[in-house]
């Protein structure tokens, strides 16, 4: 049975005739509604490789610390020309103001040299593992850690929690990956098999082929080490925050994934936020972000 939470019901005024009105279409945020706001800046940037995208922005709260930390992963259909880590600046700043540090990673997208398989995945893994190396430098408490990913970043955040299950034969295997015990996916695309077969998703199907690469004798099953459901159970708590009005990520992708995760024995819960599209998920002062912050606060305790 899928566990889910609906945050609120939208009140509807019934006319005097007694006829039920058509539900009002909520006015959803557009990308310029977010990106045209004054953009806050991080406190430091860490290089984990030579490429211009192999960077991590660090957001450090005021005070002595050590600070609980959110490992943040941006989306953008795994494509750098669509989005980079700066798309998360507004919510990273909001967390910083509330005493939570943010480790906001970037990676080479499928449109860049070295992106795709294995580069995009290897970058995300290297950026996550660098947190353990630099935690003392920035006074970060990795014992209180939650991964948060948006859209394609939701897939990568869940995949990061699954890395310890990768076989030694995988090109993505590392001996001691950062242990992630709680993941929050915001309008994510965790199931690459399903995404590649569903033309209604806003990223399209061709990008998945670019992400996972062509099958080879050494890598015959392109989803075995890249698609999160293939690696279930993750052994990590998973919260999915989604809006029914999201026109980028079909709602069934959330319900289908939660069903698979629970069937595998994981703790997974879907949080449905009304009047929410894709942008609201990473915009401060929205109901969706308020719910995500509640989940983050609970997780970090």
Q: What is the pLDDT of residues 147-194, one digit of tens each?
A: 999 999 999 999 999 999 999 999 999 999 999 999 999 999 999 999
Each residue's pLDDT tens digit, 192-205:
999 999 999 999 99
> What is the model's pLDDT at position 301?
87
pLDDT at 272 exceeding the cut of 80: yes
Name the strands in the sheet holding 237-243, side by side, starting at the edge strand that comes first in the sequence. Answer: 4-6, 268-273, 237-243, 182-186, 140-150, 67-73, 101-105, 55-59, 44-47
> What is the model's pLDDT at position 285?
95
> What is the model's pLDDT at position 17?
43
Give 78's contacts (C-beta < 8 A, 6+ positions apart): 109, 110, 115, 120, 152, 156, 203, 207, 210, 211
Give 214's contacts (C-beta < 8 A, 6+ positions apart): 222
> What is the model's pLDDT at position 90?
98
Each residue's pLDDT tens digit, 16-63:
344 555 456 679 999 999 999 999 999 999 999 999 999 999 999 999
Instruction: Find tokens 């943040």 and name the residue.
Output: 72
> What is the model's pLDDT at position 24?
60
Mean pLDDT of the chain: 93
> What is the model's pLDDT at position 26?
76
> What is the model's pLDDT at position 42?
98
Neighbour count for residue 19 (Cβ, 10 Å): 8
> What is the model's pLDDT at position 2?
52
Distances in whole angstroms, Cα of residue 105 to Cα of each of 32, 41, 89, 269: 22, 14, 11, 25
Rounded Cα gap, residues 292 and 68, in angstroms: 16
N residues, the chain: 301
> What is the model's pLDDT at position 14?
30
Rounded Cα gap, residues 187 and 166, in angstroms: 25
> What is the model's pLDDT at position 25?
66
Give 245's contacts (C-beta < 8 A, 6+ positions apart): 26, 28, 275, 276, 277
> What is the model's pLDDT at position 15?
35
pLDDT at 1 exceeding the cut of 60: no
> What is the model's pLDDT at position 170?
97
Mean pLDDT, to the nearest integer, of 91-95?
98
> What is the model's pLDDT at position 98?
97
pLDDT at 245 exceeding the cut of 50: yes
pLDDT at 9 exceeding the cut of 50: no
């Amino acid at each position: 049975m899928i566990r889910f939470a609906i945050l609120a019901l939208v009140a509807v005024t019934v006319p005097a005739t007694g006829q039920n009105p058509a539900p009002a279409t909520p006015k959803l945020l557009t990308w310029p509604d977010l990106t045209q706001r004054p953009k806050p800046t991080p406190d430091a940037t860490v290089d984990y490789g030579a490429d211009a995208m192999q960077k991590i922005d660090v957001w450090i709260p005021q005070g002595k610390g050590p600070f609980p930390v959110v490992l943040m992963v941006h989306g953008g259909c795994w494509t750098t020309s669509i989005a980079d880590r700066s798309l998360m600046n507004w919510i990273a700043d909001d967390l910083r103001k509330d005493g939570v540090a943010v480790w906001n990673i970037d990676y080479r997208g499928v449109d860049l040299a070295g992106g795709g398989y294995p580069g995009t995945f290897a970058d995300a893994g290297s950026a996550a593992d660098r947190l353990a190396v630099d935690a003392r430098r920035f006074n970060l408490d990795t014992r209180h850690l939650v991964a948060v990913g948006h859209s394609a970043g939701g897939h990568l955040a869940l995949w990061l929690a699954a890395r310890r299950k990768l076989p030694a034969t995988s090109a993505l295997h590392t001996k001691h990956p950062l242990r992630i015990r709680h993941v929050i996916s915001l309008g994510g695309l965790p199931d690459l098999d399903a995404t590649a077969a569903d033309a209604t998703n806003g990223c399209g199907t061709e990008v998945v082929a670019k992400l996972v690469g062509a099958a080879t004798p050494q890598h015959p099953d392109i989803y075995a080490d890249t698609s999160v459901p293939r690696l279930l159970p993750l052994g990590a708590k998973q919260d999915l925050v989604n809006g029914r009005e999201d026109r980028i990520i079909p709602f069934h992708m959330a319900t289908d994934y939660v069903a698979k995760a629970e069937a595998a024995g994981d703790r997974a819960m879907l949080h449905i936020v009304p009047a929410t599209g894709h942008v609201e998920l990473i915009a401060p002062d929205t109901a969706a972000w308020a719910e995500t912050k509640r989940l983050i606060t609970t997780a970090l305790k």
